[in-house]
Amino acid sequence: MSPYIAPRTSGEMIERLRRHYIKPGDPFAGGAFLTEVALGDRRADALYVGFASSRGEHLIGHEVKVSRSDWLHELDQPEKAEKWATECHAWYVVAPSTAIVHVAEVPHGWGLMVPNSRTRTRLDIVKAAEIHLDRRPSWAATHAIIKKQDTIRAQLVGEESRKVDAKHRGAILRLEQRVRELEAAALTDQRAARGALAIEEALGAKVSAPGYGDPALVFPDGSPLNSRELVATLATFLATTATERNELASWRIRDLTHTAESLRAAADAAEKAAEVLR
């Protein structure tokens, strides 16, 4: 286990105090923990509003002090904390240690809490605060608490909304990218189809989409032509300009016609040879 490191900043003390009242991940916290709750020109560093009778249906206020000088300054102006302290059922000073806040210096009725060195969640109550069950928080204090809670709710809703928006935005971007890919593929297919039609019209033969060794060109009389050179020729044909295509088609027609005639003559000769052998 890593060595214990005492909280040193106000933020660290606030988080320790939060875990003191509300166990992380507990779905039934039994209360609400609010920070920096303003009441007019005064502010409570932290408030715990108890909901469950088992944990105390109390409003407990806290003043966090992490330096000796800050605490001494507080002692010089005790009225600063009184505005909130008198609204709460109990009021505590929270400090990293009793070296910051001496027990004897804590005003009458207030309590003192410091971190427990044996745990990362709990705080020790060095001096218990008086509990004033007869106090009823004013409408101003109640309004401040409700307002702070609603601010937290709005922040959480906003965070979740941004997460959802980011997730949906990513899905939309992926969908738009897929649509662009499909559009590009469709455009390529259309161009290929127009190119094949132009070749068929120019060559007077049907063009298919075979692999090497399969009939790539079939003439009107049904005779096939297999040639790797044909693939290269068609690729060149598609890459040329309209004028070049016409010139290339005229030349290639003669070449292909000659090739086809030679192949037919060879086939006739082979057939006659076969008849002689029979």
- pLDDT per position as a tens digit, 176-205: 788 788 878 777 767 666 666 766 665 555
pLDDT at residue 47 is higher than 90? yes
Under DSSP, is residue 226 helix (H, G, I), strand (E, B) or coil? Answer: coil
Question: What are the backbone angles phi and psi of residue 207, rounded to the nearest 5°?
Answer: -100, 130
Going by pLDDT thresholds of 50, 70 and 90, the confidence category of residue 253 is: low
> What is the C-alpha separation between 15 and 94, in angstroms, rounded?
12
- For the residues 73-102, what does the mean pLDDT come to? 92
Residue of 53 and 102 predicted with greater confidence: 102
| Residue 212 pLDDT greater than 50, yes or no | no
* Residues with Cβ within 8 Å of residue 98, at least 6 apart in sequence: 112, 114, 126
Q: Quick one: pLDDT at residue 207? A: 56
Per-residue pLDDT at 105 = 95
Least confident of 51-55, 95-99, 273-277: 273-277
- Please report, for the chain, the start and end positions of each structural domain, with discontinuous segments joined by +: 10-137, 204-277
> What's the token pair of residue 69?
């000088």
| Predicted confidence band of residue 240 (pLDDT cuts 50, 70, 90) | low
CA dihedral 214, 219, 222, 227 (to 10 degrees): -20
pLDDT of residue 85: 93
Of the ranges 87-91, 232-236, 257-261, the best mean pLDDT one: 87-91
Cβ atoms of 15 and 35 within 8 Å: the answer is no
**Maximum average pLDDT range among 12-21, 161-170, 196-205, 250-259:** 12-21
Contact 47, 59 (CB under 8 A): yes
For residue 278, what are the contacts with CB-CB under 8 A and spacing of at least 6?
none
- Which range has the worst mean pLDDT, 87-91, 133-137, 156-160, 213-217? 213-217
Residue pair 240/233 in contact by the 8 Å Cβ criterion: no
> Taking Cα atoms as reference points, which of 196, 207, 217, 214 lies closest to residue 259?
217
Mean per-residue pLDDT over the chain, rounded = 78
DSSP 77-124: -THHHHHHHTTSSEEEEE-S-TTTS-GGGSPTT-EEEEE-TT-SS-EE
* CA distances from residue 84 to 56, 61, 81, 263 in whole angstroms, order as listed: 19, 7, 6, 105
Percent helix / strand / coil, the chain, rounded to 5:
50, 15, 30
